């Protein structure tokens, strides 16, 4: 049997603090003998989102540290040197301020970026980044320049757990455009009133796969996504593999 999943499951797998982490690990363990199919849209969406969150997190950390250094350099007291605790607290406060600004000005998901910031700072402490220019340069290269490489590392680690796996590409499908039209023409209330373009693309590919290559299962942490695919499949009488919604 073949199985697949959405973007959220890969994010949950890669973050131990995610509320779905343990359940995704357990569910994936049950499916390890299956052939995992990485849908093209899942791969593309994960890489794009991972790079964006990783780069945003790095930029916020860098900006906060530079601001703290500027504060030190402009201090009238030449002996001004905060304790490691105060330094970390000051920089973290700045990070929180910048995240609020980003949310206000760019409508970003602050919670998801904060998760990435915490992950980044588990490898490089704030005092080290503040004091060591070499560590700071290494940090930027590792997480900004190589953000895409790190995204693919997470994906590869996820799929290699399964005994067999395969990667799909949009050009593999003949029915892709037809299914996209069907979803957009649906009378059902699906995919957040059809505003969730990412999930629509994933559903389009999933339904295309089931029609062209045989039944494919699907697991997701996103109830809206899972239920929407079920509704579309039922509306157009398309037989698909089991769709499992992993719940909290």
pLDDT: which is higher, 10 or 57: 10
pLDDT digits (tens, 9 = 90+) for 209-243: 999 999 999 999 999 999 999 999 999 999 999 99
Residue 151: what pLDDT? 87
User: Residue 221: how many CB atoms within 10 A of its CB?
Assistant: 24
User: Residue 57: how many CB atoms within 10 A of its CB?
Assistant: 25
Q: How far apart are the C-alpha atoms of 226 and 58, rounded to whole Å?
A: 33
Query: Where does the pLDDT of residue 73 fall: very low under 50, low under 70, confident under 90, or very high at 90 and above?
Result: confident
What is the mean predicted confidence (pLDDT) over 105-129? 78
Q: How far apart are the C-alpha atoms of 10 and 221, rounded to whole Å?
A: 10
Decide if pLDDT at 77 tops 70.
Answer: no
pLDDT: which is higher, 120 or 138: 138
Q: Which residue has the tokens 């703290």?
A: 68
What is the mean predicted confidence (pLDDT) over 116-130? 83
Mean of all residue pLDDT scores within the chain: 88
Q: Which range, of 23-32, 48-57, 103-112, 194-203, averages the lowest pLDDT?
A: 103-112
- Write out the H or E segment, with its range, that includes residue 42: helix 40-73
Neighbour-count burial for 146-168, b at 16+ CB within 10 Å, e otherwise? ebeeebeebbeebbeebeebeeb
Residue 204 exposure: Cα atoms within 13 Å on the Cβ side: 25
């Amino acid at each position: 049997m073949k199985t697949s999943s959405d973007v959220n499951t890969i994010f949950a797998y890669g973050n131990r603090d995610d509320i779905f982490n343990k359940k995704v690990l357990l569910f994936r363990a049950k499916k390890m003998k299956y052939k995992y199919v990485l849908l093209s849209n899942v791969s593309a969406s994960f890489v794009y989102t991972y790079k964006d969150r990783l780069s945003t997190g790095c930029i916020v950390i860098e900006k906060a540290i530079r601001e703290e250094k500027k504060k030190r350099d402009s201090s009238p007291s030449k002996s001004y040197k905060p304790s490691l605790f105060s330094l970390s607290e000051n920089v973290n406060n700045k990070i929180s301020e910048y995240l609020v600004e980003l949310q206000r000005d760019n409508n970003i998901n602050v919670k998801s970026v904060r998760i990435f910031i915490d992950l980044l700072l588990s490898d490089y402490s704030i005092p080290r980044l503040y004091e060591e220019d070499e560590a700071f340069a290494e940090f930027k290269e590792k997480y900004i320049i190589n953000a895409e490489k790190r995204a693919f590392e997470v994906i590869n680690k996820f799929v290699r757990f399964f005994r067999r796996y395969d990667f799909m590409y949009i050009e593999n499908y003949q029915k892709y455009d037809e299914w996209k039209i069907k979803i957009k023409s649906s009378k059902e209330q699906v995919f957040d009133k059809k505003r969730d373009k990412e999930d629509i693309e994933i559903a389009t590919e999933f339904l295309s796969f089931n029609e062209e290559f045989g039944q494919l299962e699907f697991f997701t942490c996103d109830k809206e996504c899972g239920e929407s695919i079920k509704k579309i499949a039922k509306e157009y009488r398309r037989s698909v593999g089991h769709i499992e919604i992993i719940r909290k």
